[in-house]
Amino acid sequence: MSRRFLLLFSLLCAGLYAVVAGQPAPSAPAAGSLRWFKGNTHTHTLNSDGDSTPDEVVRWYRENRYNFVVLTDHNFLTDVTALNAVHGADEKFLVIKGEEVSSRFDSKPLHINGLDVSRRIEPLSGSSVADALQKNVDAIRAADGVPHINHPNFGWAITADELATVRNNRLFEIYNGHPRVNNLGGNGHPGLEEIWDTLLSRGVELYGIAVDDAHHFKRLGDLSSSRPGMGWVVVRAPRLEARAILAAMERGDFYASTGVELSDYRVADGTMTVSIDPVPTSGYRIRFIGKGGTVLEDVQGPTATYRIKGTEGYVRAKVIESNGKQAWMQPVMVGR
């Protein structure tokens, strides 16, 4: 990605809120010190229900030009020290420890990733879905980790109302590459993007993650398997270090993608501009979305600019590629 992209995109989280909402901008590193890092925050090994060793899993991500990967086995914390000794490289590749804290309420699976936790988290039950989610989020925070709530529609487990009650969590999956997580909704349940817009419309500021949830590294040609390379995040941070990456994610300094790469994203003078690094044989649509999931503007082509009015509640951008790939920019709350 271009240096110009890094500089201009920094205005999103460091400046738009102040320009549009008339409030102080959140603290962020200086734009000139920032780089972009591609990573996956949800993957599995033989330490839970994956089909490959941690070494094989890490090797796949390193060889496929990721900058970081978080190992998140179910209720198991893998020590990544030796993996970083073999595969890690300063400012090029990093393995981050993690755990998918997996509990249930009744028949509903409740899974929350704890990123860079200091110790293994024992999953906790609760008196309701919301109570169990909150207890496990709190346990992850107590272990110095960063939580993100996984695949709400897996087993139709978590509703927008339940997500809205969870405190001290900023991240949740709006795309999960596992073939049985119901990203698009069904059976009377909304899809994950609709859930996102419902929450944002209520003033619940959550950032959307795309992940692999990869289990199968030995069945890469099997479309029914849970394969790597399905969804990822691209994080703007000052350095490739676990805490720098996670701090940037909790500020919303990242975009999520299933294959679209941005070349420029900027907010200045009350406008939001998105530009794509296009594949010549593909077509693109850029949508700007506001309160209630309303499409504020829909532009065909690899670049688009939207002028923010300040009454939208929030503005987020989404890119749709003609072969089905997508990218999601994080929402900016306005007019509050």
Tens of pLDDT, residue by residue over 18-48, are 333 333 334 556 556 889 999 999 999 999 9
Q: Would you mind telling me the total number of residues written for the chain in this entry?
A: 336
pLDDT band at 1 (very low <50, low <70, confident <90, very high): very low
At residue 266, the pLDDT reads 78
pLDDT band at 8 (very low <50, low <70, confident <90, very high): very low
CB of 81 closer than 8 Å to CB of 95: no
Minimum mean pLDDT range among 16-20, 68-72, 214-218, 324-328: 16-20
CA distances, 271 to each of 185, 288, 306 (Å): 32, 11, 5
As assigned by CATH, the class of the 35-252 domain is alpha beta
Residues paired with 103 in a beta bridge: 110
Name the helix (H) or strand (E) containing 271. strand 271-276
Nearest to 171 by CA among 163, 161, 159: 163
DSSP string of 75-127? T-----HHHHHHH-BTTTBEEEEEEEEEEEETTEEEEEEEET-SSPPPP---S
Domain boundaries, the chain: 8-34+266-336, 35-252
Residue 250, pLDDT > 80, answer yes
Q: Which tokens sit at 322?
A: 């003609």
Please give the model's pTM, rounded to 2 decimal places.
0.90
Which amino acid, one-letter code, is at 174?
I
69-85: average pLDDT: 98
Phi, psi dihedrals of residue 25, rounded to the nearest 5°: -75, 145
DSSP string of 282-296? --EEEEEEEGGGEEE
9-24: average pLDDT: 40
* Mean of the per-residue pLDDT values of the chain: 91
Span 226-247, pLDDT tens digits: 999 999 999 999 999 999 999 9
Span 251-307, pLDDT tens digits: 999 999 999 999 878 777 888 889 999 999 999 999 999 999 999 999 999 999 999
8-34+266-336 maps to CATH 2.60.40: yes
At residue 268, the pLDDT reads 77
At residue 203, the pLDDT reads 96
57-80: average pLDDT: 98
134-141: average pLDDT: 98
Rounding to the nearest 10 degrees, give the CA dihedral for residues 279, 285, 290, 294. Answer: -150
Residues paired with 104 in a beta bridge: 109
CB of 149 closer than 8 Å to CB of 163: yes
Instruction: Give dist(CA 184, CA 175) in Å, integer.
Output: 9
102-128: average pLDDT: 98
At residue 180, the pLDDT reads 96
At residue 54, the pLDDT reads 98
- Helical H segments across the chain, by residue range: 3-11, 17-21, 54-63, 81-87, 129-142, 160-164, 192-201, 242-251
Q: Which tokens sit at 132?
A: 């169990």
Percent of the chain's residues with pLDDT above 90:
85
Number of H helices and E strands in the chain, helices first, is 8, 17
